[in-house]
Amino acid sequence: MTTEYTYPITTVTVPESTYDAEEVIAIQLSAFADNDSPVPDAGIKTAYNFASPANRRATGPFDQFRQMVQNNRYAPMIDHSEAVTGPLEQDGDSAQQRVTLTGEDGQTVTYRFGVSKYESTPEDETIPEPNCWLTDRVLRE
């Protein structure tokens, strides 16, 4: 089933300038841990909301983003049972953090989240709010 969503998807958490880099990653991890709460695919929708403009251009509209997250590379994020985060490595307006997730099957997978702070004008529709941290990449190690 294909559904068109307007960015950002307002039924889930959206980026705000008050969130720091570490909170942005934690919000996404928390949403992925219970992917279908409070709405179906809430975790994936939250991650889409926190994707940077370049990330969204590369992954395409929400339905393509959802398919990418559900593939073998990223599927372990969905409904994981535990997340262990490493230290946040920040350099100015960019940061990265290593995250090891344990799935319901007990297997672990490590990812490296890369985030950047996006400063823009309120008229810029590619970000929900000026001066917010967004995810540029999530790499599986």
Provide long-range contacts, Cβ within 8 A and 24+ apart, for 51-58: 51/134, 51/135, 52/116, 52/118, 52/127, 52/134, 52/135, 52/136, 53/118, 53/126, 53/127, 53/134, 54/136, 55/134, 55/135, 55/136, 55/137, 56/7, 56/126
Range of the domain at 82: 21-140
9 domain residue, yes or no = no
Specify the CATH number for the domain of residue 34: 3.10.450.50
Band (pLDDT 50/70/90 cuts) for residue 123 is: low
pLDDT digits (tens, 9 = 90+) for 53-91: 999 999 999 999 999 999 999 999 999 999 999 999 999
Query: Does residue 105 lie in a domain region?
Result: yes
Average of per-residue pLDDT values in the chain: 93
